[in-house]
Amino acid sequence: MPSSQPDPNASADQAGLSGDALSAGRLENLARQLARSHALSRRPRRRPPLLDRLREQEVLLHDAYQRFAETSEVQLALSYAAEWLLDNFYTVRQALRQVREDMPEGYYRRLPKLATSHLEGYPRIYAIAREIIKHCESHLNLDRVALFVQAYQRVTPLTTGELWALPTMLRLGILEILTQTVVRIIELPPPQKRGGETHPAFVPLPHERCPEPVEGLADETVVANCILSLRTLATQDWEAFFENVSRVEQVLRCDPANVYARMDFDTRDRYRGVIEELAQATGRDEEVIARETIRLAEETERSEERPSRTNHIGFYLLDAGRAQLEARLGYRPSWGTRLRRRLFGHPTPVYLSTITLLTLVILLGLVWYALVAGGTPVQLIGVGLLVLLPATAVAVNLVNLLITHTVPPRVLPRLDFQEGIPAECSTMVVVPALLTDASEVESLLHQLELHFLGNADPHLHFALLTDFADAPQKRMPDDDRLLGQVKTGIQALNKKYGQGSSGPFYLFNRDREWNPGEDCWMGWERKRGKLIEFNGLLGGSGETSFTVQMGDLDLLPEIKYVITLDADTVLPRDSARRLVATLAHPLNSAEFAPPSVPPNGGEEGGDGAVVAGYTVLQPRVEIKPTSANRSLFTRVFTQDTGVDLYTRAVSDVYQDFFGEGLYAGKGIYDAEIMI
């Protein structure tokens, strides 16, 4: 193969295809000129066959691939264009699939369309993509793409939807050029459809020709450029690209609470989604709405003595401050939105009344059937009493099913702790357990080590909170042996994984106390008691029944959060960080009402109730794969076996409809609140 031709397996840099057809200054000028020439249409008069042509292009490219493959079987020497397509057709197929998946019909309809120019009726972002491809000579350089988009937005800002559609439109434009070039190389005649109509892939766009390679470039070079561009588009981090060019993103990063920039991508994307939703509903520019949100948070910051959740822009996008922002924007929710908000504002009456109504419908239906069958009044009463409880159970299940299938999961906002948990969020993972026998102790130590290996972090610590088993005496013969075994195990773990004189593992063991209600010696209040006393230990209380305390005790006052697990609970990889990052978000931190005023001038009032946020968070709990088939019970309650449940969200009746949940004893809480 001559060295002057690009290698079909080479990278962009290796191929020597720079794509720097224009200087940065000229490229920015072209972007600004293009922005000034674009005018938007409120109601496009026609639907261009943009995505329809994709199917025809796929057929043509596949036909070309088949022809090149057949030629390769009888001919040793192939053109460079044929080699590029044969060696990289998987890249072409991937691009075709991504365009189909990333541009559904509803999304396409919402994209702003042009009112002028030869691309009238086409999405504005499609015109921008074509211009970028043209001036990069079909070989995309993502730095230059970002430069072009940023320059364009200095004249006309693009919407969030348009920025997300840019990679799809770039793929679409590249595929159009690739199709035209390959068809020209193999001299394939334009296929004819019924009635003599020309193949859509060859139909020029209104008032212009289909995308063609830049004049002066050989067809082989064009094919190479197109495939290299598709490779670049497939490997680009589009999340980082989007946030680099989004003007809304730059505005929201001015959050007065300095929280937005520290959140994870999904949460930031939810914030931007609310901005986009309000912009579509009010007709205002997204950047204007973002600045109004910042202004609201700044006004609250100046009026309050100490920081609170209201200083954070999320309070006005996802929380109770949404009404204030909507009032500022003059937003008028649709009747459907108003109905949904009213239902969620009064969940208990809605839930109970729906169950009652369904129960009555089922009950009356069965009683009516008995009446038609000739039942006497006494028999009708008997039927009603017999089916009352089953009818109620059916109604509850139907309502729960309806809610879980219609109410979207309420995903909580989260900070980004992927690089590590900060010192101010130091967390202790505790496993309350009983020291029953040697095998149980060995299992506890092994489980604690697994928790550490999957969630290692300098500010994440692991502890066993242990009691001896219930007994008729305060001390039993095996106590010292079991205690010695667990102490030796903790020391060994700290030696293995610790640094210096300290390590991440702790042990807190209690002696038995007499319980007259149970008529035996046992750990006070079992699991609940261990957690209560451990919280007291974190608060500096010396009055606990922990007679053994192993570890760096000077670190205990620095513990902010506690993750509590059962002895058989699995803590998936990095899930501890995600739990801490969720509870540490200001919208999730518990906020209490002021203490109630004591009656009759008393000295102390009642504790304030939680009015916002959460005191305890727990993830979705599921049976682990190794236990899934042990019994009929586990098979019934096992779902999505082998999937990391901490990365998925499913609807839950209590959480998503009532904003509450049943605590299963496994979760995370703020230690300061519990002390």
pLDDT in tens, 154-181: 999 999 999 999 999 999 999 999 999 9
Give CA–CA dist 342/347, Å, rounded. Answer: 9
Among 36-40, 94-98, 529-533, 627-631, where is mean pLDDT lowest? Answer: 627-631
> 608 or 277: which carries more pLDDT confidence?
277
- Using pLDDT thresholds of 50, 70 and 90, give the confidence band for residue 65: very high
Q: What is the pTM of this model?
A: 0.84
Query: What is the predicted pLDDT for the residue at 184?
Result: 87
The H or E element containing residue 461 is strand 460-468
509 contacts 546 by C-beta, under 8 angstroms: yes
Give CA–CA dist 18/543, Å, rounded. Answer: 72
The residue among 288, 295, 338 whose CA lies nearest residue 316 is 295
On the question of pLDDT at 666 being above 70, the answer is yes
Query: What is the predicted pLDDT for the residue at 8?
Result: 54
Q: Over pLDDT 90: what percentage of the chain?
A: 59
- Using pLDDT thresholds of 50, 70 and 90, give the confidence band for residue 198: very low
The residue among 310, 584, 556 whose CA lies nearest residue 425 is 584
Average pLDDT of the chain is 85
For 37-54, the pLDDT digits (tens) are 999 987 766 666 777 788
Query: What is the predicted pLDDT for the residue at 197?
Result: 52
On the question of pLDDT at 605 being above 80, the answer is no
The residue among 101, 96, 104 whose CA lies nearest residue 58 is 96
Query: What is the predicted pLDDT for the residue at 239?
Result: 95
Query: What is the predicted pLDDT for the residue at 108?
Result: 87
For 13-37, the pLDDT digits (tens) are 444 334 444 688 889 999 999 999 9
- Using pLDDT thresholds of 50, 70 and 90, give the confidence band for residue 183: confident
Q: Over pLDDT 70: what percentage of the chain?
A: 84
Query: What is the predicted pLDDT for the residue at 624?
Result: 65
Would you identify the CATH topology of the domain 423-593+607-674? Spore Coat Polysaccharide Biosynthesis Protein SpsA; Chain A (3.90.550)
- Using pLDDT thresholds of 50, 70 and 90, give the confidence band for residue 276: very high
289 contacts 277 by C-beta, under 8 angstroms: no
Among 311-320, 535-544, 634-643, where is mean pLDDT lowest? Answer: 634-643
**E-state strands within 469-581:** 505-510, 513-515, 520-522, 546-550, 561-564
Length of the chain: 675
> 620 or 364: which carries more pLDDT confidence?
364
Note the helical H segments in 46-79.
Answer: 52-74
On the question of pLDDT at 194 being above 60, the answer is no
CATH class (in words) of the domain with range 12-241: alpha beta
Give CA–CA dist 431/448, Å, rounded. Answer: 8
221 contacts 19 by C-beta, under 8 angstroms: no
Average pLDDT rounded to a whole number, residues 79-87: 90
498 contacts 504 by C-beta, under 8 angstroms: yes
On the question of pLDDT at 639 being above 80, the answer is no
On the question of pLDDT at 621 being above 60, the answer is yes
On the question of pLDDT at 11 being above 50, the answer is no
Query: What is the predicted pLDDT for the residue at 653?
Result: 80
**E-state strands within 280-330:** none
Query: What is the predicted pLDDT for the residue at 43?
Result: 75
Regarding beta strands 610-612 and 591-592, do their DSSP bridges make them parallel or antiparallel, or are they unpaired? antiparallel
Average pLDDT rounded to a whole number, residues 362-372: 91
On the question of pLDDT at 602 being above 60, the answer is no
On the question of pLDDT at 285 being above 60, the answer is yes
For 519-543, the pLDDT digits (tens) are 999 999 999 999 999 999 999 887 8
Regarding beta strands 505-510 and 546-550, do their DSSP bridges make them parallel or antiparallel, or are they unpaired? antiparallel
On the question of pLDDT at 72 being above 50, the answer is yes
For 201-242, the pLDDT digits (tens) are 333 443 344 444 444 468 889 999 999 999 999 999 999 999
Contacts 24+ apart (CB under 8 A), 277-286: 278/325, 278/326, 278/329, 278/331, 279/159, 280/110, 281/331, 281/333, 282/329, 282/330, 282/331, 284/329, 285/157, 286/157, 286/159, 286/160, 286/247, 286/248
Query: What is the predicted pLDDT for the residue at 297?
Result: 94
Helix axes 438-454, 479-497, angle to 10 degrees: 20
On the question of pLDDT at 518 being above 60, the answer is yes
CB-based burial, 325-343: b 16+ in 10 Å, e otherwise: bbeebebeeeeeeeeeeee
Query: What is the predicted pLDDT for the residue at 648?
Result: 56
278 contacts 289 by C-beta, under 8 angstroms: yes
